[in-house]
A and B are shown apart, each in its own frame.
Chain A
Amino acid sequence: MTALSTWLSKLSYGWVLGGIAVLMIGFYFLFNAIPRTKPVKAQLLCVVGMDLITLLFYILTFSLRVSKMAAQSGATPRTLPRLWAFLMLLASIGAYIAILKKDNKPDKGFDRWVFALLVGLGSIVSVLLFQWIGYYLSSAIFIVVVMVAMGEKNKLQLILTPIIWCVFTYFVFNKFLFISLPIGSLFKGIF
């Protein structure tokens, strides 16, 4: 267990998240194949995801350094994570049973989830653009794009909303709270 723990602790979080994602996909196909678990597969996957992280943390505790003093006291850096992990695995059994009960609600269907996810991804792109085009322009573009994507057609509102937002954030954050927001390399030469 210690060898596995040491190996896992050397992995970057990208690999760890990737590994968990692969396992989750595997569980998705498994739950989808069983008639009893099919209607509640998403709820089950939520608990499975938390359990996988719990299991990972539990294994990782084996590679945590323990000082003599800590070992003598009986409360080491491993104690609480292991306690929570144990209780978590115990509680998740209860959650699995509750989810699999006949009177439990089946998973809600997906509505416009791709749209919601795209807005989330759009916000990441907007943040990545901070360093080039600055916060103000980047957030203004983000607001307009989301407004248009949501079906807003009023041109005046499409123009005024990002302008008012930028003026508001400039005065509140820059002038009032003295939190300077990035203006971006593109505009650094100008201002």
Chain B
Amino acid sequence: MGEIFKNLMMGFGQVLNLQSILWILIGVCVGILGGAIPGISPSMAVALLLPMTYAMSPTVALIMLMGIYIGANYGGSITAVAINTPGTPSATVTAFDGYPLLKKGRAGEAMGISLWASVFGGVLSIFILMFFSVPLSKAALKFWPSEYFALCIMGLTTVATLGGKNWQKALVACLFGLLLNTMGLDPTFGIKRFTFGVTKLFDGFEMVPVLIGLFALGEVLNNLEHYDPKKTAKREEVDYTMPGFSYYWKLKWSIVRAGLVGCLIGIFPGAGGTIASFLAYDVEKRFSKHPEEFGHGAPAGVAAAEASNSGSVGGAMVPMLTLGIPGSSTAAVLLSALMIHNLNPGPKLFTDEPELVYSLFASMFVANVLMGLVGFFGAKVWVRVGYIKKTILYPLIFAFAILGSFSIKKSMFDVGTCLAFGIIGWIFKKYDFPTSPIVLGLVLGKLIEENFVQTMMVTGPSGFVTRPLTVILFVISIAAIAYPIISERIKRKKASKLSP
């Protein structure tokens, strides 16, 4: 405990300077801006800004991207309250009670609750992140390659939750990502694979254009297809003055409960903020003395949705930092950011780069504080963001995506990659194939192959079945895949029995 506190102070020492605070502030503002604009997800916001971090030090790059992640998770609630349109999928639950509150003339309350619940939920999750991740990383240091391989396979099982009802499509997408990952030089023997004479494919696909293509261009192309010039958001003149601090005190237990639920759900790879907010909302409704108010403007409903949503950020960072397994699609983009800066995500990160890890923890505290300030003083400005004309927004996102993928290596090939994956993302979105599993496959593929080959070289195939932890992890993986499938079938059977 003392060591964690000492290291955290070191992290604050790294972060509490004008330059770092400025980058975190920029990150938070960009994140809120991105989150508040419907159609820009946190993963898209982080992916779009990723190329800008090339010229930065890894610490500065990561704290800025973390600021975006935190800001975007809150930003989604602004339009959920203001125009009943969640800026991010995880803010859907916020709209359940946020918008009815606005309709009752209590917009300031709704905005205030969503802001401070986000801040406190986020702070709570950082404590859990620190106390979970440090011992977990120490344990993970003792892992053998076979255990790492099994752990990565466990990470892949998140496709079952990422895909939801479309788990079959998610599984195909994930395996396709793994297959694409094998392009380029084989990591152990240096043999060229599936490069078709293209020297730029020797290192496989550059991650940034792929991410920008899948998350940003795919989304914009889809929005462009369904763009209707006649459809514009109606502006409502509403008073957004937030109540004083004492107002939120009565919601303290709702925020703590939801923050904890969000963080714990976030730890499970693939679960993410959306599931966390739905679950926390349900928990809060059960705890409430007035459950009938939920859905009609219950302040506790907004608090639960937002605290859990922000809480999931810290949770998602636990498997990412300690095991190198992304807990959400945004965490997958952050994981790529670590790799781009030549850092190896996983337990060694805590021993090799303690300054970076603890700076990241400290920056999360700072980002939440800054988010509180920016959200409080800029509420009226952020609300207007939801009304940005699509005729300006979409061409700019497109231009930014192209610029981002071009600026990495000044390569036209990367722009082509970005556009190709943009079209893949668009088609996938159109036909309900989730895109996150492709990223998961691309991110984890290399790690899986390296650990597979190492295990085979050291122990042979027996290495996968003789170490108990490896077997346990495989069993968990099978259960993680089987559980949602079986439970869905049971639900369907029950539903078919009930229906006449």
Chain B CB within 8 A of A79 CB: yes
Contact assessment for A57 and B419 in the assembled complex, using a CB-CB cutoff below 8 Å: no
- Kindly list chain A residues whose C-beta atoms are within 8 Å of the C-beta of B392: 147, 152, 157, 161
**Residues of B355-390 contacting chain A, CB below 8 A:** 389-390
Report the separation of the CA atoms of residues A84 and B173 in the bound assembly, to the nearest whole angstrom.
12
Contact assessment for A74 and B456 in the assembled complex, using a CB-CB cutoff below 8 Å: yes
Q: Mark contacts of B30-53 with chain A using CB atoms, 8 A cut-off: 1 yes-contact digit, 0 otherwise.
A: 000000000000000000000010
Contact assessment for B398 and A123 in the assembled complex, using a CB-CB cutoff below 8 Å: yes
Contact assessment for B461 and A12 in the assembled complex, using a CB-CB cutoff below 8 Å: no
Report the separation of the CA atoms of residues A161 and B391 in the bound assembly, to the nearest whole angstrom.
10
Contact assessment for A115 and B406 in the assembled complex, using a CB-CB cutoff below 8 Å: no
Q: With CB as the reference atom, state the residue of chain A lying closest to B230.
A: A151
Which residue from B226, B426, B449 sits with its C-beta under 8 Å from A80?
B449
**B100-108, B164-172, B255-263, B302-310 - the one binding chain A:** B164-172
Chain B CB within 8 A of A21 CB: no
Contact assessment for B179 and A85 in the assembled complex, using a CB-CB cutoff below 8 Å: yes
Interface centre among B196, B396, B416, B423, by most A CB within 10 Å?
B196
Chain A CB within 8 A of B186 CB: yes
Chain B CB within 8 A of A36 CB: no
Contact assessment for A150 and B227 in the assembled complex, using a CB-CB cutoff below 8 Å: yes
Contact assessment for A127 and B448 in the assembled complex, using a CB-CB cutoff below 8 Å: no
Report the separation of the CA atoms of residues A70 and B453 in the bound assembly, to the nearest whole angstrom.
9
Chain B nearest Cβ from A188, distance in angstroms = 15
Interface centre among B191, B198, B389, B399, by most A CB within 10 Å?
B399
Report the separation of the CA atoms of residues A115 and B395 in the bound assembly, to the nearest whole angstrom.
13
Contact assessment for B194 and A169 in the assembled complex, using a CB-CB cutoff below 8 Å: no
By DSSP majority rule, is chain B's interface helix, strand, loop, or mixed? Answer: helix
Report the separation of the CA atoms of residues A177 and B53 in the bound assembly, to the nearest whole angstrom.
8
Size of B's binding interface in residues, CB under 8 A: 67
**Residues of A96-136 contacting chain B, CB below 8 A:** 97-98, 105, 107-108, 110-113, 115-117, 119-120, 123-124, 126-128, 130, 135
Chain B nearest Cβ from A10, distance in angstroms = 8
Which residue from A50, A74, A97, A108 sits with its C-beta under 8 Å from B460?
A74
- Kindly list chain B residues whose C-beta atoms are within 8 Å of the C-beta of A143: 395-396, 399
Q: How large is the interface on A (under 10, 10 to 19, 20 to 34, 35 or more residues)?
A: 35 or more
Contact assessment for B168 and A98 in the assembled complex, using a CB-CB cutoff below 8 Å: yes
| Given known A46-B427, A123-B398, contact A88–B168 (CB-CB < 8 A) | no
Contact assessment for B182 and A92 in the assembled complex, using a CB-CB cutoff below 8 Å: no
Report the separation of the CA atoms of residues A95 and B109 in the bound assembly, to the nearest whole angstrom.
46
**Residues of A1-43 contacting chain B, CB below 8 A:** 9, 11-13, 16, 42-43
Interface centre among A11, A16, A79, A84, by most B CB within 10 Å?
A84
**Residues of B146-201 contacting chain A, CB below 8 A:** 166, 168-169, 171-173, 175-176, 178-179, 182, 186, 188-189, 191, 193-194, 196-198
Report the separation of the CA atoms of residues A52 and B428 in the bound assembly, to the nearest whole angstrom.
17
Contact assessment for A73 and B456 in the assembled complex, using a CB-CB cutoff below 8 Å: yes
Contact assessment for A64 and B193 in the assembled complex, using a CB-CB cutoff below 8 Å: yes
Chain A CB within 8 A of B129 CB: no
Q: With CB as the reference atom, state the residue of chain A lying closest to B457.
A: A73
Contact assessment for A139 and B399 in the assembled complex, using a CB-CB cutoff below 8 Å: yes
Chain B CB within 8 A of A87 CB: yes
Contact assessment for A65 and B227 in the assembled complex, using a CB-CB cutoff below 8 Å: no
Chain B CB within 8 A of A172 CB: yes
Q: With CB as the reference atom, state the residue of chain A lying closest to B454.
A: A75
- Kindly list chain A residues whose C-beta atoms are within 8 Å of the C-beta of B224: 112, 115-116, 119, 150
- Kindly list chain B residues whose C-beta atoms are within 8 Å of the C-beta of A107: 431
Q: Mark contacts of B409-440 with chain A using CB atoms, 8 A cut-off: 1 yes-contact digit, 0 otherwise.
A: 01010011001001100111011110000000
Report the separation of the CA atoms of residues A116 and B218 in the bound assembly, to the nearest whole angstrom.
10
Report which A residues bind B (CB closer than 8 A).
9, 11-13, 16, 42-43, 46-47, 50, 53-54, 57, 60-61, 64-67, 70, 73-77, 79-81, 84-85, 87-88, 91-92, 94-95, 97-98, 105, 107-108, 110-113, 115-117, 119-120, 123-124, 126-128, 130, 135, 139, 142-143, 146-147, 150-152, 157, 161, 165, 169, 172-173, 177-179, 181-182
**Cβ contacts A to B, 17 pairs, < 8 Å:** A13-B197, A46-B428, A54-B179, A73-B457, A74-B461, A77-B188, A95-B172, A108-B431, A112-B226, A123-B398, A124-B419, A135-B403, A146-B394, A146-B395, A150-B224, A151-B229, A173-B407
Closest 4 CB pairs of A and B: A75-B456, A151-B229, A152-B391, A13-B196
